[in-house]
Amino acid sequence: MSATVKIYTHLSVDLGGELLEIGSRTTPQEVTIAGSKYELITTVADNYGRELLWQNGDGNIDDFDILAITSTEDVLLELTIDRAGTPSYATIGITANVPFIMSKDDLIDAITVNETETTVDQIDQIAVQNNQADEAGDATVRLILLT
């Protein structure tokens, strides 16, 4: 069973009379997926502890086409790829109540010395860490993966 995901993204900012806009409020971007999902809602303590949300195979999903995450507090999103036993990481700051969406599960694993070729790998683990220890309180995090 395939399904179509509609993603609405729009950014608008007025910088002293200069209006910057990107995306559309009315026309979605559409991505076709196979129709499987993984969803997790969890609480992440405000103690800088790392919370594993998903790893390859959880919910019978080995990879994904869409990642969407929201949090009630600022958190750090950690994406891990594991190439031949050596993990590589990408860490992204997530602002409270601002959805973060990725439409691909690939990260650059390596770049050649002359920077003409890259090695790409799929994300194997997703974790978060509350980055406001003893200040903001626990974060409620919702992760949705679609494939």
Please name each of the domains of the chain with its CATH number.
Answer: 1-35 (no CATH), 36-146 (2.60.120)
Q: What is the pLDDT of residue 83?
A: 60
Residue 103 has what pLDDT? 87
- Tell me what pLDDT residue 59 has: 92
| Cβ-contact 132, 141 below 8 angstroms | no
What pLDDT is stored for residue 89 in this prediction? 87
What is the pLDDT at residue 134? 59
Identify the segments of the chain with pLDDT beneath 50: none
* Cβ neighbours for 79, distance < 8 A, ≥ 6 positions apart: 89, 90, 91, 92, 107, 123, 125, 126
